[in-house]
Amino acid sequence: MLAYGRDLGAFLAFLTGHLGAAPDLADLAALKPADFRSWLAHRAREGLARSSTARALSSVKSFFRHLDRRGAVSNPAVGRIRAPKLPRQVPRPLAPDEATDVLALADDPGRPAWIGRRDLALLMLLYGGGLRLGEALALDVRHARDAGETMRIAGKGGKERVAPLLPRVRDAIRTYLAARPDGAPSRSPLFLGARGGRLDPSVAQRRFREIRAMLGLPASATPHAMRHSFATHLLGRGADLRTIQELLGHASLSTTQRYTAVDAEALLKVYRDAHPRA
């Protein structure tokens, strides 16, 4: 709500300078697309982030919808204004040794044994198989028991893919299931919460934050970063993009190509650190 108020205040302050006086309802109704674009251009000149401008435009549009519902102002021009295109976010993977450290701390001896082994099995599956957190938490015990070296995963939009199960991942899952106090019935959730239901994502995220704090990792280190690390480390070891696309379940190769930018950044860092003329 505070951001909404700040966005509107800044918009009205711009209009005051743009129109030469504080705008009234008639002025708001008379605004043309060029007026709104002038405001967006002003924000760009001020160096404001595109994400901030996108949020501000959303606030302004909400304001005009509110005025329209009250019968105070009707201005269809604002609906024709598009938010600035946001730059595509480059995934932030962990370094290989950081991913290894995360796994080393996952099985906390201070917790009940089955919970520590659950956390390790979950993170092994994210890093070793490239699963999204939601995909892993949606699995049932039967999916793991029926799996061999691969497991069928229901991804976004119900699209299925095959994820690899490395021996260490399979061992971690088997060790966890053997430790479960309920005997791990086939139709029960694979990853169980302390109260017996399916593990809530927020619990897994909180546990990851604890590990992140112990290792001094940045805020970008999240459960999803383990999936990013899976893809980036495969690419760094020579895997081709098409294979990584299939393993991640990306509908478009362009999505997978983001990882080439990550790998290029890593190569440049090595170059800068190692080259005598860098």
Q: Is 132 one of the annotated active-site residues of the chain?
A: yes
Find the catalytic residue in 117, 127, 228, 259: 259
Q: How crowded is residue 134: how many other Cβ atoms within 10 Å of its Cβ?
A: 13
Q: Does residue 126 contact residue 136 with C-beta atoms inside 8 Å? A: yes
DSSP 71: T
Q: Is 18 one of the annotated active-site residues of the chain?
A: no
Find the catalytic residue in 37, 156, 206, 269: 156
The DSSP bridge pattern shows strands 160-164 and 150-154 to be: antiparallel
Could you give the CA distance from residue 278 to residue 270 in angstroms, rounded to a whole number?
A: 10
CB half-sphere exposure, 201, CA atoms < 13 A = 11
The phi and psi torsions of 163 (rounded to 5 degrees) equal -110, 140
Q: Is 42 one of the annotated active-site residues of the chain?
A: no
Q: Is 227 one of the annotated active-site residues of the chain?
A: yes
Exposure b/e, 69-104, CB count within 10 A at least 16 = b: eeeebebeebeeeeebeeeeeebbbbeeebbebbbe
Q: Is 250 one of the annotated active-site residues of the chain?
A: yes
Q: Is 224 one of the annotated active-site residues of the chain?
A: yes
Find the catalytic residue in 118, 170, 212, 250: 250
Find the catalytic residue in 43, 161, 227, 228: 227
Find the catalytic residue in 43, 117, 118, 132: 132
Find the catalytic residue in 118, 161, 224, 233: 224
Positions annotated as catalytic residues are: 132, 156, 224, 227, 250, 259
